[in-house]
Amino acid sequence: MAKKILTVEETKELFSKICDVCEVIYSENSFENFMKEIHNTLIKIDYDIKKIKSKSNGEFFYIWVNLINDDFTQLSTPYTQNEIVIFRKILELIMESYSERYQLSSTKAIQEINKLKFSLTKKDIELLLKRFQNDKWIIERGGKYSLDIRSLAELSDYIKRNLLEDDELIECPICLDYIFSDLECCSNPDCDYHIHTSCAATKFSNVSNSNKRCPKCKGPWDSELDDIDEDVNNY
């Protein structure tokens, strides 16, 4: 589990190899039973393997998760205390950027990190942000950072408790998860319809751009994110 994140296909391939070694016939049913056994074992020691859907491209992943709910336990091993403070700041800034669809510009990220007075060069900051990306805590697209699947899997409870008020929590009407990243919304300023990017892609999959309509106000659906390549996650 050194990698901590695997696609569903990678996980099935790994299980298939285990079956070969153990001379057991692979099947979808045996795979599901195997994952249930792992779940039942890990929760006894405050860990789990969660299956989570990327809100940007809809792909499913299995993620090794620490269930101890003491804020940033998950980051404590590979990062220094100063680096955890920096990540916490990035997380706060992203969640304050609702008007920017929960995206933080790289320029602002560097400026705000400099204000923490940790005597880091711009190169140091860029390398640290790259580490956060490699570990799937954040993702960079078009010069802007947003939360990646590991943050969504491990820090959602922290975000709900500490960074957003109850009236700021937005529920996606399709998957019913709260929206902390990959936010799309109706272009009508008087309409409050919000949805995840991957959920919008599913909902409008068989509809031409000219015929897309907001499910709530029935006005034209003209999202700024329509042109973003949804295959940007290269896991």
pLDDT in tens, 146-190: 988 888 888 888 888 888 777 778 888 888 888 887 788 888 888
pLDDT at 229: 40
- Name, in order, each residue with C-beta under 8 angstroms of 96's C-beta and a sequence gap of 6 or more: none
Classify residue 60 by its DSSP letter: E
Give the whole-angstrom CA distance, residue 51 versus residue 117: 38
Which two tokens mark 232? Answer: 């940007």
Supply 179's token pair.
């929206």
Q: What are the helix (H) ranges across 149-193? A: 149-154, 156-162
Rounded Cα–Cα distance for residues 66 and 175 (Å): 24
**In this predicted structure, what is the pLDDT of residue 2?**
47
pLDDT at 192 over 60: yes
pTM: 0.70
Q: Which residues of 132-152 are buried (b: 16+ CB within 10 A; e: fewer)?
A: beebbbbbbeeebbbbbbbbb
Classify 80 as helix, strand or coil. coil
- pLDDT of 16 strictly over 70: yes
As beta bridge partners, residue 67 has none
All structural domains of the chain with their residue ranges: 5-66, 73-157, 182-225
Average pLDDT over residues 198-224: 81
In terms of phi and psi (left: phi > 0; alpha: psi -120 to 50; beta: otherwise), the region of 108 is alpha
| Res 127 pLDDT > 50 | yes
What average pLDDT does the chain have? 81
pLDDT band at 83 (very low <50, low <70, confident <90, very high): very high
The DSSP bridge partners found for residue 48 are 65
Measured distance CA(135)–CA(149) in Å, rounded: 10
User: How far is 148 from 110, CA to CA, in rounded Å?
Assistant: 19
Q: Highest mean pLDDT: which of 45-59, 79-93, 194-208, 219-233?
A: 79-93
Tell me what pLDDT residue 151 has.
86
- CATH fold group of domain 5-66: Aspartate Aminotransferase, domain 1 (3.90.1150)
Using a pLDDT cut of 90, give the percent of the chain over it. 17
Q: What share of the chain in percent tops pLDDT 70? A: 87
CA-closest candidate to residue 198, choices 157, 231, 224, 171: 231
Predicted pLDDT at 4: 75
Helices (H), 96-228: 106-114, 122-134, 149-154, 156-162, 197-203
Question: Which of 3.30.360.10, 1.10.10.10, 1.20.1090.10, 1.10.10.60 is the CATH number of 73-157?
Answer: 1.10.10.10
Distance CA 154, CA 77 (A): 15
